[in-house]
Amino acid sequence: MKLIKNLANLISEGSKLKILTDKLGLSDYAAAYLDSKYGKLSIWIANKLIDDFLSNHPGHTPLHLLIGHYSEDLVGLLDYIRVGLNGNISSIKYYNLYQLFDAQKKWHDQLQIGSGKINYEETNKVILDFRNPDGLGYYWVDLDTTYSPEECDRMGHCGRASENLYSLRSFEKISDKFTLNKSHITASISDDGTVTQMKGPKNSKPSVQFHKYILPLFQLKNVDPDSDSINFIERFRSTYRPETDFQIWDLSKEDLMNLISLRPDLFDGLYNRYRLFKLGLIEVNPFDQMQMWFDFKIETDDIERYVDGNWVVRQIKDKGRFNSVRRIGMFETILSGDIWDVIDYNETYELSDLLADLDEINKNKIWDLINETANENSLEEIPTDL
pLDDT per residue over 89-140, tens digit each? 899 999 998 899 899 888 878 777 677 888 999 999 999 999 999 999 999 9
CA 132, CA 340: separation in Å to the nearest integer?
Answer: 85
Q: pLDDT by residue (tens digit) across 245-262?
A: 999 999 999 999 999 999
pLDDT of residue 3: 38
CA 179, CA 356: separation in Å to the nearest integer?
Answer: 85
- Which CATH number does the domain housing residue 129 bear? 3.40.630
Cα angle value 173/107/80 (rounded, 5°): 70
Whether 163 and 86 share a structural domain: no
Bridge-partner residues for 326, per DSSP?
316
Whether 182 and 240 share a structural domain: yes
Instruction: Give the type of residue at 137.
Output: G
User: Would residue 265 count as lying in a domain?
Assistant: no
Whether 133 and 37 share a structural domain: no
Whether 9 and 127 share a structural domain: no
User: Would residue 279 count as lying in a domain?
Assistant: no
CB 203 within 8 A of CB 157: yes
**Three-state SS for 53?**
helix
CA 75, CA 100: separation in Å to the nearest integer?
Answer: 12
Bridge-partner residues for 179, per DSSP?
173
Into how many domains does the chain fold?
A: 3
User: Would residue 101 count as lying in a domain?
Assistant: yes
Instruction: Give the type of residue at 212.
Output: K
Q: Alpha helices of 183-312 — where are they, by DSSP H?
A: 211-214, 253-262, 270-278, 303-308
CA 247, CA 243: separation in Å to the nearest integer?
Answer: 9
User: Would residue 102 count as lying in a domain?
Assistant: yes
* Closest among 28, 16, 19, 14 to 63, alpha carbons compared: 28
Count of residues making up the chain? 386
User: Would residue 262 count as lying in a domain?
Assistant: no
* Closest among 285, 221, 231, 219 to 258, alpha carbons compared: 219
Whether 129 and 214 share a structural domain: yes
CA 264, CA 184: separation in Å to the nearest integer?
Answer: 28
Residues 6+ away with beta carbon under 8 Å from 86: 175
Last residue in a domain, options 111, 126, 160: 111
Cα angle value 25/27/28 (rounded, 5°): 120
Whether 49 and 155 share a structural domain: no
Whether 213 and 227 share a structural domain: yes
Whether 58 and 18 share a structural domain: yes
CA 96, CA 52: separation in Å to the nearest integer?
Answer: 8
CA 210, CA 258: separation in Å to the nearest integer?
Answer: 16
* Closest among 75, 76, 73, 54 to 63, alpha carbons compared: 54
CB 146 within 8 A of CB 126: no
User: Would residue 201 count as lying in a domain?
Assistant: yes
Last residue in a domain, options 206, 229, 250: 250
Whether 95 and 183 share a structural domain: no
CA 297, CA 159: separation in Å to the nearest integer?
Answer: 45
Q: Domain range for residue 368?
A: 345-386
User: Would residue 325 count as lying in a domain?
Assistant: no
**Residues of the chain falling short of pLDDT 50:** 1-12, 343-349, 379, 381-382, 384, 386
Whether 122 and 106 share a structural domain: no
Instruction: Give the type of residue at 2.
Output: K
pLDDT of residue 363: 67
Instruction: Give the type of residue at 204.
Output: S
Whether 57 and 77 share a structural domain: yes
* Backbone φ and ψ of 152, nearest 5°: -60, -45
Whether 136 and 185 share a structural domain: yes
Rg over alpha carbons for the chain, rounded to the nearest Å, is 38
CA 303, CA 125: separation in Å to the nearest integer?
Answer: 58
Last residue in a domain, options 224, 250, 276: 250
User: Would residue 349 count as lying in a domain?
Assistant: yes
